[in-house]
Structure 1
Amino acid sequence: MEGIGLENTEIQLERGFIQTNEFFQTKESHIYAIGDVIGGLQLAHVASHEGIVAVEHIANQDPHPIDYTLVSKCIYSSPEAASVGLTEDEAKEKGHDVKIGKFSFKAIGKALVYGESDGFVKIVADKETNDILGVHMIGPHVTDLISEAGLAKVLDATPWEITHTIHPHPTLSEAIGEAALAVDGKAIHS
C-alpha cells in the first residue's frame, strides 16, 4: 500500500491492510475499502458482499454487518471441496458436544451416473441444541451444493429441518438430506 497517497489521509493500515469499520468505512468517512486491501477472507464472493454492505451504508439503507462465520469456502479442484461453519475439531475446541452426520456420494445415483462418486457430505451439529455448527463436503459439484448449507446456517436450521426439505431424485443434493438424517443415525440409503 505504498505510493498511493495514503500517508496524506487519516486512513490506517495494520499489517499492510486498510482498516475499516463493520461497514467498510475508513477513518476518512467518505472513503470505503473492501476485498483484498482489507485482509480477512480474500474471496471474490466475500468482496462482492462487502461492496454491497458498503454501498448500502453509503445510501443510508441500514445494512447488516457481515458474519464471516457464514461464508462458504470453496476449492475448485477435482474432486471439489466446500465448507461453511465450524469443523468438528473447532466445534469441540469451542466447548460443543457434537454429533456428526456423514454420507457418501457412493450411495447417490446421480454421482454414479457422473462417474464421480468419491467424497461425502458431513454435518457437524450440537448434541444439546441440535444447531448446525458446520457442513463440509468433498465430491462432485459441491461448490454448487454448499449454498444450501450456508442458507441453513443463516436461518439457524437444524438437521431435522433439512431432512424435511424434499430433495429431488436423482440429484447430488440428496447427499445433504441423507447427511442430515445421519446426524441422528437415520440415513436411508447408507
Structure 2
Amino acid sequence: VLSAVGITSNIEGIGLEEAGVEIEKGKVKVDEYYKTTADGIYAIGDIIHGPALAHVASHEGIICVEKLAGKHVEPMDYGNIPCCTYTTPEIASVGMTEKAAKEAGYEIKVGKFPYSASGKASAAGAKEGFVKVIFDAKYGEWLGAHLIGDHVTEMIAEVVVARKLETTGEEIIKAVHPHPTMSEAIMEAVAAAYGEVIHL
C-alpha cells in the first residue's frame, strides 16, 4: 500500500485577512525577511511558500528574529536547502539535478561514486548506493549533489557547507577526508567528476 500525504497550512478563520495579512494560494505572503503585508506580523515555516521542512522553518525563524534585532542578515538561499528522505536506503540531495543544470545553460562535469567501491560501506554491509555530484565545468561551481545509501542524510551537510562557501571541486579533492568512512564517498565522487578518482 502506498500512502502519499501532503500538508496544507492551517491559517483559515484566525483573523489574518482582517489584520491586513495577504494570503496567496493558501499561504501567508511574506518578504525575504518574513514580514507579512501587515505591520508587526511575521510568518515562517509551513504557512509560507517554500519547502515545508523543519530545518527550513528553524532557519527562517533565526533570520527573522536577527533582522528584527537590527543585525545584518542575508536572506535564505532556497537553492541550497538539503532535502532528506528517511527511508531504507536514505536519500539526500541539494541543488540542481543534471537535467536542471543543462536546462539552465551550464556546461557540466558529473561524478559518481558507488558505495560498492567504499571500504566502509563494504565492511558495514551497505554496498547499495552512490554519491553523484554536478559541477559547472567553466567556473567550478558546485551545482548539486544526489546521494542514496546508508548515512547520506548525515553526509549531505558537507555539500551544503561547501556550496555556501563557494568551495570548488579541486578544494574538496585536496581536503583530506578520513578513511575508512562513508563520507569520503563525497570526495571520491568529486574526484570522479574531475578525472582524479583513485578508488574505482
TM-score range, shorter chain: over 0.9
The residue that corresponds to 1:66 in the other structure is 76
Partner residue of 1:137 out of 129, 143, 147: 147
Partner residue of 1:153 out of 154, 163, 181: 163
The residue that corresponds to 2:8 in the other structure is none
How far is 1:163 from its partner?
0.5
TM-score by length of 1: 0.97
The residue that corresponds to 1:8 in the other structure is 18
The residue that corresponds to 2:127 in the other structure is 117
Inter-partner Cα distance in structure 2 for 1:133 and 1:80: 21
Q: What does the per-residue CA deviation read over 1:107-144, in whole Å, with 9 as the maximum and x for residues that have no partner?
A: 11111122111111111011111211111111110000
How far is 1:10 from its partner?
1.1
How far is 1:39 from its partner?
2.5
2:112 paired with 1:102: yes
How far is 1:41 from its partner?
0.4
Inter-partner Cα distance in structure 2 for 1:16 and 1:114: 46
Q: What does the per-residue CA deviation read over 1:31-60, in whole Å, with 9 as the maximum and x for residues that have no partner?
A: 110000003100000000000011111111
How far is 1:175 from its partner?
0.3
Q: Pairwise CA RMSD of aligned residues?
A: 0.9
Inter-partner Cα distance in structure 2 for 1:130 and 1:108: 25
What is the letter of the counterpart of residue 144 of structure 1?
E
SS in 2 for 1:8: coil
What is the letter of the counterpart of residue 128 of structure 2?
D
Inter-partner Cα distance in structure 1 for 2:12 and 2:123: 53
SS in 1 for 2:153: helix
Inter-partner Cα distance in structure 2 for 1:153 and 1:29: 35
- Runs of 4+ more than 4 Å apart: none
The residue that corresponds to 2:100 in the other structure is 90
What is the letter of the counterpart of residue 124 of structure 1?
I
The residue that corresponds to 1:40 in the other structure is 50
How far is 1:7 from its partner?
2.6
What is the letter of the counterpart of residue 47 of structure 2?
V
Q: What does the per-residue CA deviation read over 1:12-35, in whole Å, with 9 as the maximum and x for residues that have no partner?
A: 000010001100011122111000
Q: Indicate if the aligned counterparts of 2:17 and 2:23 stay in contact, CA closer than 8 A.
A: no
Q: Which runs of 5+ in 2 are unaligned?
A: 1-10
Residue correspondence of structure 1 range 155-174 to structure 2 within 5 A: 155-174=165-184
2:199 paired with 1:189: yes
Q: Which runs of 5+ in 1 are unaligned?
A: none
SS in 2 for 1:7: coil
Inter-partner Cα distance in structure 1 for 2:194 and 2:17: 57
What is the letter of the counterpart of residue 138 of structure 2?
E
What is the letter of the counterpart of residue 172 of structure 2?
I
